[in-house]
Amino acid sequence: MLNWWLPENVTSYGQDIDWLFHLIYAITGVTFILVTVALLAFVVIYRDRPGRRARYTHGNTTLEIVWTVVPALILVVLTFLSVPAWSKIKMTMPATDVVIQVTAKQFNWQVTYPGPDGKFAFRLLDPSVLSRSVFDRIHASILMSGTLFPAEMYADLLGIAARRQVLRTYASPFPRENRLLLVSPNVTTLFVKRGKEMHDAIAREIGGIAAAVPGNVAAFFPSYELLGEAHRRLRAARVPKQVLVERPDWSKTQRDGALEALRLARTEGGALLLGVQGGSLSEGVDYHDNLLAAVIVVGLPLSPPSVEGEALRDYYARKFGFAKGHDYAVVYPAVNRLLQAAGRAIRSERDRAAIVLLEGRILEPRYARCLPPDFAPARSEGAASEASRFLQPPG
């Protein structure tokens, strides 16, 4: 009846507290009314009248005992009635929809929510916390990789002191004439430009290259979602090659099976492999003996916004400055995945292959400056025909 003037219940024990409040309110309300009525009655009954004199009294012992015992009994009853609610609040953990982690700081509370799996994760944002002491204890070390670019970034992230750094970048030893490196300026995976027309354009580019290139072709996407969009369109277009599609749950046996399928398909016109950048097929697999005639890298795999990504970018910005922080946390990791995927085609000095980047942003200065000096793709409006001419056998 009195719920209209109380806040909305948002806890599992709010109803119990409201019931106790209403009971105490009723007792005190009735007591207030009785005392007020008695006070008014006494004012009227014992008002001043002619011939009546005031009389002094020492009080009434029985009445005093009653008005002491009755409130005490009421308090005892209320105490017993409050015990279940108190126990429910303090001793029983109610069921909850979500568990959060709350960290108290000097001037604020930091609330951390779990991930989609309901779990909390702790990530090491700064590898130098562990690696710096290792490099400080050793006399010298050599760090090298085909995609360790830029070397300055890795030295910074690993915490190698500037006075101990010797940075060198070397060109690829493979003959440059064995590699055709193109970029298509008219397609992009930029989120605001994604739509049916852009997905259709990407699928047309892939289908055109796959049809024009003799041999196996691999196309690597920023995500399985974009891979699926292209696969549906390529299947409808009936690409003249067997299509192999990487799945997120593939085991090593299934990945090895895909490589074997490529070997068998090479003698029959080739196959089209669809995979993701950053996955095992675009980074952890060697395609020996010129197994791939062409590699298509679709889009720039910039990480989508996330709590971890924002924390990493903010931390690097504070440590290395805003420009470096953004590049180290966002741009260079994406470029590295792109380079890893592009490098699947040519694994020896004898391999010959075409590499096509389906991402117009690569031509923009803010991304082009992040590419290695010997990785300079040429703008192409007809990548399929150029790749076909490049891979035609001599004579």
Asked if 187 and 200 count as a contact pair (C-beta separation under 8 A), the reply is no
- The confidence score (pLDDT) of residue 285 equals 85
- The confidence score (pLDDT) of residue 392 equals 85
Q: Say whether pLDDT at 146 is over 90.
A: no
Q: What is the pLDDT of residues 45-55, one digit of tens each?
A: 888 888 877 77
Task: Report strand pairing: 101-104 vs 109-112.
Answer: antiparallel
Q: Say whether pLDDT at 58 is over 80.
A: no
At residue 102 the predicted structure's pLDDT band, cuts being 50, 70 and 90, is confident
Task: Report strand pairing: 179-183 vs 271-276.
Answer: unpaired
Instruction: Share the mean pLDDT of the chain.
Output: 88
| Least confident stretch, 120-124, 179-183, 316-320 | 120-124
Distance of CA 56 to the CA centre of its chain: 84
State the Cα–Cα distance between residues 104 and 108, nearest whole angstrom. Answer: 7
Q: What are phi and psi of 127, to 5 degrees?
A: -65, -20
DSSP secondary-structure letter at 345?
Answer: S
Asked if 275 and 335 count as a contact pair (C-beta separation under 8 A), the reply is no
Q: What is the pLDDT of residues 199-250, one digit of tens each?
A: 999 999 999 999 999 999 999 999 999 999 999 999 888 888 999 999 998 8
At residue 33 the predicted structure's pLDDT band, cuts being 50, 70 and 90, is very high
The mean per-residue pLDDT over the stretch 366-372 comes to 90
Q: Hey, which of 50-54, 59-63, 182-186 has the most confident mean pLDDT?
A: 182-186
Q: Say whether pLDDT at 1 is over 60.
A: no
At residue 261 the predicted structure's pLDDT band, cuts being 50, 70 and 90, is very high
The reply to whether the predicted model has a pTM over 0.75 is: no
- The confidence score (pLDDT) of residue 316 equals 92
Considering only CA atoms, which of 314, 362, 332, 318 is closest in space to residue 153?
332
C-alpha triplet 45, 49, 55: angle, nearest 5°: 75
- The confidence score (pLDDT) of residue 224 equals 93
Q: All domains of the chain, ordered by start, with CATH? A: 128-164 (no CATH), 176-391 (3.40.50.300)
Angle between helices 128-137 and 151-158 (to 10 degrees): 90
3-state secondary structure of 282: helix
